[in-house]
Structure 1
C-alpha cells in the first residue's frame, strides 16, 4: 500500500527558536536567513504596475510580446546569448513555481523516465519538485559522478550558477555537453546571474539552445520578489511543450507585473547599483562573522556567505544569542550541507551595522 504524502516542515519554519533568541536583543533580530530582497525596486518599475489597462483582461500565459522581447534583449545585452522571443522563451509566475512543477510536466511528456538529478548541496525546491511529481530525486556531487543508470532514467538535470547556497560558479558549457551527450535536458537556474563576482555574468544559452533551459527571475536582480515574475528560455521544442501545458494550468503572470517587468529588464543602472550594495554587504558581513569567530571569504558569486562549522545548529544558536542574527543551517540545502551555515546579505546597512556593534566589530 502506498503511503500518503505528508509535507515535511518548511525549512525556514524550523528557525522559530533561533529567531526568538535573536529577538531578545535590543533592536530585535537581524534576519540573514531567507534570501529575500530588502532594497526597493526602481520607481519607474513601481509606476508601471499601475499604468495602463494591463489588469483588465487575462494576460497571455507565455508572456506578452513586450515582456518576451525585453527578456531576450536582456539575455543578449547582459549575458551574451541570443534567443528567439517568439519561439524560445516564455514567462513564469516566479521561478520557484517553475522549478517545483517542471518534473511533473516532463514526466507527462516522457513516462518512461522517472528521475530528477540535482546538486547535493542546493536550493531545496529541486528535490521537492521531484517528490511532488512522484519522481526519484537523485543528488549528485559532480556531473561526472552521476551513475549511467540514473542518467538513463533522468527527466532533467538541474544546475545552478552562481550557486545557492555556496556561490560557486559552474562550467555551464560542460553541463550543456553532458546533457546533450546523454539526451538529458539541462535546466540551468541562473537567478543570481547578475551577481557574479569572479567572472562576467553568463548563461548556458551561450552554448546554443538545443537540449537546455535557462531559468531567470526578476526577484533578485530587480528586488521584485513580491511580484512573482520570471521566464525560461532555451530548446524550442521543450519551450513549446511547456508553453502549451502551462496554459492549461492557468500559470499566467499578472498583466501589470509583466508591464513593470519590461521596464525593469530594460534598465541596467539599478542592477549595477544593487551589485555594488551586495558586494559591500558581503565584505562587511565577512568581517563581522570573522570577528564573531566564524572566518569566511566572499564567494565567487551570489549574495550569500557559506561558512564551514562543526555544528551548524549550534553556530546558529550562538550567533542568535551573542549577535542577534539569524542564519540558515546548511542541512536546509541537503544532508551534504550539514557542516555549513548560510548567511544572506539581505538586510539594510544600518541593520548589519547593528549586528556589528553587538560584537564590537564596527569600524
Structure 2
C-alpha cells in the first residue's frame, strides 16, 4: 500500500468562527473564553529582566543556563515538595507545547521497537498530534489499569496531566509512576497548572515519587503570564533528560537568553502567583454563576482555570451557539479534547474581570 501524505487537520480553535460571529453581535463584542491564553500582566520585574545584561548577544545553551536550571529546581522543591539535580535532571524547552509535540519522535529514535503514545482520552489535543507527527500510534486511555498489555508493550511513553486540561481533575500521580515502572514505560507528567490547584491537597508533582522513569513538564506561560516568551522545562530521570538534551541540541531548540534570564526572576517569586491564583478563582466563581443562571450548571474544578460543563442533550456545539447568542461568550466544544469529551464544553477563565462582568450582565435568566 502506498503511504498517504499527511494532511494537517483544521486547528481546533479555527473552527469557532461561527460562534465568534454570533457573540460579536452583542454591544461590546465577544468575550472569548475559548483558548486558555493569559490576559493578565507579566510581573514588571520579569519584564525588566528581559532587558538586562547582554544575554541576547550569543547563542544560549539549549539545555538552559545553569542559573535557569537551578531556579527551576528551587521552585520544584519550594512549591511542589520534590528534589531534582539542576545539573543532570533538568533541561529547558521552548515552551512546553513544542516539547509535547516533538518528544515522541525523539523517543522513537531512542527505541525503534516501540511505536505507541498513550494519552488520556479527554485531554490536550497535542498529546495525540505529537504521536501523529512522529508517525506513531496515538492510543487514548480512560484508566491506566485499562491499557492493554499489547499497547503497554508498544508504548514509547504514557502522558498524564494533573491538574487536567480541560476537566480540572487531579489524577493519581503515585499510581502513574508505579504503572510506568511496572511496565517499563516512561511517564510524562504535564503539570503546567500545578500552581492553580484548588483542592486542599495543594500542588504536587510526580517527582515526589522519585525520578526513575518519569519526567515532569512545567511551563511559565500560565504561572507567570509569560506565554509569549515561550519558556518551560522538563525534569526527572537523568538518562531520559540526558538523551533528550543531546538530541534536541541538534535541532537548535533553545529558549532565548534574555527569556531564560527573566524566567529566573519569575521562578524565584511566589507573591505574583498568589495574586494570579486569586484572579482565576474569582473568575471561575463568576463564570460558574453566569452559566448556572443560563441553565448550564457548572462545578468549580479541583485545579486549572477551566470549567468543564455538561451540555444538555450532549450537544456541545448547540450549547456554544446558545451561550454566544445570550451572553456573547465563546467557549470550546468538548470534541476538541477527544471524542469522549463530545458531550461537554470548556470555559476558560482568561478574559479580564471587566469583560467577564460584561458577559455576566447579559444573562438575566
By the TM > 0.5 criterion, same fold? yes
Runs of 4+ in 1 over 2 A off after TM superposition: none
Say yes or no: does 1:274 pair with 2:276: yes
Q: Which residue of 2 aligns with 1:84?
A: 85
Q: Which residue of 2 aligns with 1:323?
A: 327
Q: Which residue of 2 aligns with 1:354?
A: 358
Aligned length: 361
Q: Which residue of 2 aligns with 1:109?
A: 110
- Cα distance in 2 for partners of 1:256, 1:20 equals 39
- Cα distance in 2 for partners of 1:329, 1:296 equals 15
Q: Which residue of 2 aligns with 1:169?
A: 170
Runs of 5+ in structure 1 lacking a partner? none
Of the candidates 242, 249, 253, which is equivalent to residue 255 of structure 2?
253
- The SS at the match of 1:250 is coil
- Cα distance in 2 for partners of 1:313, 1:171 equals 31
- Cα distance in 1 for partners of 2:221, 2:239 equals 27
Of the candidates 303, 313, 337, which is equivalent to residue 341 of structure 2?
337
CA deviations 1:290-318 (Å, max 9, x no partner) are 01110111011100000011200000001
- Cα distance in 2 for partners of 1:294, 1:282 equals 14
Q: Which residue of 1 aligns with 2:303?
A: 301
Q: Which residue of 2 aligns with 1:242?
A: 244
Say yes or no: does 1:219 pair with 2:221: yes
- Cα distance in 2 for partners of 1:237, 1:54 equals 29
- Cα distance in 2 for partners of 1:65, 1:233 equals 14
- The SS at the match of 2:253 is coil
Q: Which residue of 2 aligns with 1:197?
A: 198
Root-mean-square deviation (Å): 0.6
- Cα distance in 1 for partners of 2:363, 2:119 equals 38
Runs of 5+ in structure 2 lacking a partner? none
- The SS at the match of 1:144 is helix
- The SS at the match of 1:118 is strand
Q: TM-score, normalised by structure 2?
A: 0.98
- Cα distance in 1 for partners of 2:57, 2:237 equals 32
- Cα distance in 2 for partners of 1:304, 1:182 equals 32
- The SS at the match of 1:139 is strand
Displacement after TM superposition at 1:237 (Å)? 0.3
- Cα distance in 2 for partners of 1:15, 1:97 equals 23
- Cα distance in 1 for partners of 2:268, 2:42 equals 13
CA deviations 1:230-289 (Å, max 9, x no partner) are 000000000000000000000000000000000000000000110111111101100000
Q: TM-score, normalised by structure 1?
A: 0.99
- Cα distance in 2 for partners of 1:297, 1:337 equals 16
Displacement after TM superposition at 1:322 (Å)? 1.0
Q: Which residue of 2 aligns with 1:73?
A: 74
Displacement after TM superposition at 1:360 (Å)? 3.0
- Cα distance in 1 for partners of 2:354, 2:282 equals 13
Displacement after TM superposition at 1:24 (Å)? 1.1
- The SS at the match of 1:233 is strand
- Cα distance in 2 for partners of 1:99, 1:17 equals 29
CA deviations 1:72-102 (Å, max 9, x no partner) are 0000000000000000000000000000000
Displacement after TM superposition at 1:334 (Å)? 0.2
Q: How does 1:283-302 map to 2 (within 5 A)?
A: 283-302=285-304
